[in-house]
Amino acid sequence: MVLIEQLLSKDEVQTFRQHLSQVPWLDGKGTAMGMSAAVKDNAQADPENDTVRQLANQLLARYGEHPKLVSAVLPQKIFPPCFNRYGQGETYGLHVDAAVMRMPRSPDVMRSDMSMTLFLSEPDEYEGGELLIKTEFGEQKVKPRAGDAVTYPSGSLHMVTPVTSGVRLAAITWMQSLVPDTPMREILFELDQNIQQLSANDTVSREQLDSLHHVYHNLIRKNAVF
């Protein structure tokens, strides 16, 4: 699980919320695939609405160019983000996300390797509503600031705990990675983050950095799947 801080600034979050307060909202069960409908209880901004589509496209552009997100996910395809809202008593029980998704308004399908939640409400605006992810090391619960995003493997069991007061707004998406193997993607992320840090360190020679870049890109070449 990777936290991406301030993917949107506070001002951008306010602009998104302003627009989202004026669009039509639908029952979230309508978009749940298969089994997950039984545990899904929230509302979703109408994905066919022009304003909603524009907001989703703005996020798509941002996601595709964010260095930490690109490093962690190596995205090849990104599903247009969906905006959801949980009011009092609403929840999304334990589930795994669908493995294959049809891209909207396109014959294209994609595999979901990584899921991402972008939080649009501040943690003190609602009670409950944590994103809970089951990992091999136990449960992780997160409730970051508005504008922060959390990305995690789509195949991990996860849930949104019941909101007991207030409103939780978020945008969710799914991404197909160039590197479908999750452990390999995690190794590449760790390597890239270290190379980034070493680049800022004067004691590392140009040759050493070039060599590490070669290692990184050759590993991508060996593991990328199109």
Please report, as ranges, the residues that interact with Ni ion according to CB under 5 A.
97
Q: Is 45 within 8 Å of 25 (Cβ atoms)?
A: yes
Nearest alpha-carbon partner for 133 in 153, 104, 113: 153
Q: How far is the CB of 208 from Ni ion (least distance, A)?
A: 41
Looking at beta carbons only, is 36 or 188 nearer to Ni ion?
A: 36
Identity of the amino acid at 32: A
Nearest alpha-carbon partner for 93 in 169, 34, 142, 161: 161
Looking at beta carbons only, is 90 or 97 nearer to Ni ion?
A: 97
The residue nearest Ni ion at its CB is 97
Length of the chain as a residue count: 226
Looking at beta carbons only, is 98 or 191 nearer to Ni ion?
A: 98
Q: How far is the CB of 216 from Ni ion (least distance, A)?
A: 30
SS3 call for 67: helix
Looking at beta carbons only, is 97 or 192 nearer to Ni ion?
A: 97
| Location of structure tokens 């962690």 | 72
Q: How far is the CB of 196 from Ni ion (least distance, A)?
A: 29
Q: How far is the CB of 154 from Ni ion (least distance, A)?
A: 8
